[in-house]
Amino acid sequence: MNQFQYVRPSKPKAAIDARAKDQNSQFIAGGTNLLDLMKRGVMNPERLIDISRLPLDKLERQNNTFRIGSMALNATVADDKQVLEKLPLLAQALNAGASAQLRNMATIGGNMLQRTRCPYFYDTALPCNKREPGSGCGALEGYNRMHAIFGFSDKCIAVHPSDMSVALVALDATVLVSGPKGDRRIPFAELHRLPGDMPQKDTTLETGELITAVEVPEGPFTKNVHYLKVRERASYAFALVSVAAALQLENNIIKDARLAMGGVAHKPWRLTEAEKSLVGKPATEATFQAAAAIAMQGAKAFKHNAYKLKLGPNAIVQALKNATNVA
Ligand SMILES: Cc1cc2nc3c(=O)[nH]c(=O)nc-3n(C[C@H](O)[C@H](O)[C@H](O)COP(=O)(O)OP(=O)(O)OC[C@H]3O[C@@H](n4cnc5c(N)ncnc54)[C@H](O)[C@@H]3O)c2cc1C
Ligand code: SF4
């Protein structure tokens, strides 16, 4: 690991100013992703701005909206009684991520900004446009078993690894950001970006912008929800494919629906057309199969991840069945 300077401001403005002044600096929150990347030489900040002492860890509920500070720990939010009651999909997604030890260190802001787990990105001996723009994409013609089936480009086919973010995009969350130019609100679906010609840029954040909180509306999705994560082993592992499913039912007719997938694109992948197809229909396996077929339209596999074309719709159907107790 390279030598680096370290500062630990106590106010958000001081953190933002420090980051904006120094292009070679990085915020560090729980450090569970950034330190790994530094040890491997993938990220080499010359200065770490430790934001762990900023007063941004509150979880508040007002006007049917949860406001969760970016420094709240994954474990704290997942175990919060009100989150369990009103946002069970978020609690399930958080608990599906990483291990108990990691969830006790990982923060809400850090979780959404964790970087891809593409093995070529992690190995500095291999080409990777995300790590080193213009060096090529090792995964495109290489071992691409974990990679995207939606929204990729010929520059990058990586997927976003956060479980929590799949639930947040389904729940129409909003990200609150403070930066050198002031404050702004970003709809969660617009926080992460597709790779296009600039895979090195994971999000729409500008340099120096600090995520201060995420707001999640309560909505009607308290009962019929399920976060399904398909992974290679029962203990901690990243998703091959995951599905966040939430339905509002009245007499078994679907009044409102939310669906999103993880492990399939460079960003959490909201399935808007499939959601529309569910509304007004009875909660049956046939309805879920039809929605899954719509969800998969446009999916395209690479040499080693064709299994996702089959696993994806099966996971959607299973998540919807689990959410509704349809046998
Ligand atoms: C073995 C292992 C298994 C894992 N399995 C899973 C899994 O199954 N599912 C899953 O979702 N995750 C998984 N993770 C990832 C883990 O959840 C993330 O490492 C963690 O959430 C990152 O949070 P952090 O606070 O430690 O972030 P850090 O490592 O401190 O930061 C990550 C990035 O976010 C930036 N950042 C952090 N906070 C802010 C902020 N408020 N504003 C602006 N920028 C910020 C940092 O600059 C850095 O670039 C796993 C990690 C490990 C090591
Ligand atoms: S898929 Fe993206 S992250 Fe992986 S090697 Fe290609 S450019 Fe790098």
What is the distance between the terminal CA atoms of the chain, rounded to a whole angstrom? Answer: 52
Whole-number Å distance, alpha carbon 19 to ligand 2 midpoint, is 26
User: Is 33 touching ligand 1 by the criterion CB < 6 Å?
Assistant: yes
pLDDT tier, 112 (very low <50, low <70, confident <90, very high otherwise):
very high
Residue-wise pLDDT tens digits, 200-212: 999 999 999 999 9
* 16 token code pair: 């933002």
pLDDT tier, 2 (very low <50, low <70, confident <90, very high otherwise):
confident
Residue-wise pLDDT tens digits, 170-207: 999 999 999 999 999 999 999 999 999 999 999 999 99
Residue nearest to atom 31 of ligand 1 (CA): 110
For all residues of the chain together, what is the average pLDDT? 97
Interatomic CA distance for residues 271 and 197, integer angstroms: 24
The answer to whether the Cα torsion of 147, 260, 193, 54 is positive or negative is negative
User: Is 163 touching ligand 1 by the criterion CB < 6 Å?
Assistant: yes
Which amino acid would we find at residue 220? P
Q: Which conformational region is residue 243 in: left (phi greater than 0), alpha (psi within -120 to 50 degrees), or beta?
A: beta
Residue-wise pLDDT tens digits, 84-103: 999 999 999 999 999 999 99
Query: By the 8 A CB rule, do 146 and 118 touch?
Result: yes
* 97 token code pair: 């991520």
pLDDT at 254: 98
Report which of 326, 153, 147, 162 is spatially closest to residue 247, judged by C-alpha positions: 326
Q: In this structure, what DSSP letter does residue 205 have?
A: P
Measured from CB, residues less than 6 Å from any atom of ligand 2 are: 116, 118, 120-121, 128-130, 137-139, 156-158, 199
Query: By the 8 A CB rule, do 238 and 231 touch?
Result: yes
Helix (H, G, I), strand (E, B) or coil at 153: coil
